[in-house]
Amino acid sequence: MNKISLVFKIISLLLLSFLLFSCNPLENDSNSASWIEIVSILGKDLDGKDGNTAFSDVSNNLPDTIKANLRANTLNPDPDGTSPYYDITLTGYKVTYTPTGSSTEVPSNFEGSLEILLPVGSTITVYLPIVQGSAKIEPPLAALVGNFPQDIRCKARIDFYGHDQVNHNVTKFGFIDVTFSDFPDPEPEPTP
């Protein structure tokens, strides 16, 4: 009798664990058969080269951009023919800052709109602002002007959102580090 009870408990635990872990977290907020993969998010360093941190010079009122490489995939890795209904239309993004290190203040969060078709199986590059030019003349960034080497370091979360072609919502977020400062201008090249 004890053996039957033990076997029953083991079978129940296995069945329960199978049911608990069988749900796909990508489907929790969407009925879409597609999802967005963030291949990379790259900012510019002080030399203008792509990198994992975006450096923003607050001495100008220009927006600083990042480059996001996005790919559309299907939840079923081997569907029987990919339908154009799986393609994703990106309709917007939101940038949210979180302070890192000794920084306590960050620029205001902001949103932007997009109208970009992301076909399933393809990768596209999207350029979008990581900081708006107007944020550089407002606190806390305005206080950095003329005060190098003071800086503000933060992590920017970029939420991409849109829908597939049957109007099921699709979202994905990624992160990039951002450093704000009044960086010194590069020294001019000596003339021979």
Q: Tell me, what's the pLDDT at 191?
A: 73
Asked if residue 12 is part of any domain, the answer here is no
**Tens digits of residue pLDDT in 86-140:** 899 999 999 999 999 888 899 999 999 999 999 998 999 999 999 999 999 999 9
The verdict on residue 11 lying in a domain is no
Report pLDDT for 37.
Answer: 94
Residue 21 lies in a domain: no
* Residue 12: per-residue pLDDT: 58
CATH of the domain at 138: 2.60.40.10
**Mean pLDDT computed over every residue of the chain:** 85
In this structure, are residues 104 and 139 in contact, taking their beta carbons and an 8 Å threshold? no
Residue 55, in any domain of the structure: yes
Q: Please check whether residue 75 is in contact with residue 33, taking contact to mean a CB–CB distance below 8 angstroms.
A: yes
Q: Identify whether 189 is part of a domain.
A: no
Residue 152 has which token pair? 């503000």
Q: In total, how many domains does the chain have? A: 1
Give the domain extent around 136. Answer: 29-181
Contacts of 172 (CB under 8 A, 6+ apart): 35, 36, 37, 38, 70, 159, 160
pTM: 0.78
Residue with tokens 């900012």: 43
pLDDT of 20 above 70: no
Domain assignment present for 8? no
Contacts of 40 (CB under 8 A, 6+ apart): 67, 68, 69
Helix (H, G, I), strand (E, B) or coil at 162: strand
Question: Percent of the chain at pLDDT above 70?
Answer: 79
* Residue given tokens 């920017």 in the structure block: 156
pLDDT single digits (tens) 61-86:
999 999 999 999 988 766 566 778 88
**161 inside domain:** yes
Nearest of 148, 149, 151 to residue 178 by alpha carbon: 151
The winner for highest mean pLDDT among 4-13, 65-74, 181-190 is 65-74
Q: Residue 16 falls within a domain, yes or no? A: no
Give the CA distances from residue 192 to residues 121, 186, 187, 188, 189, in Å, rounded to whole numbers and listed in that order. Answer: 52, 18, 15, 12, 9
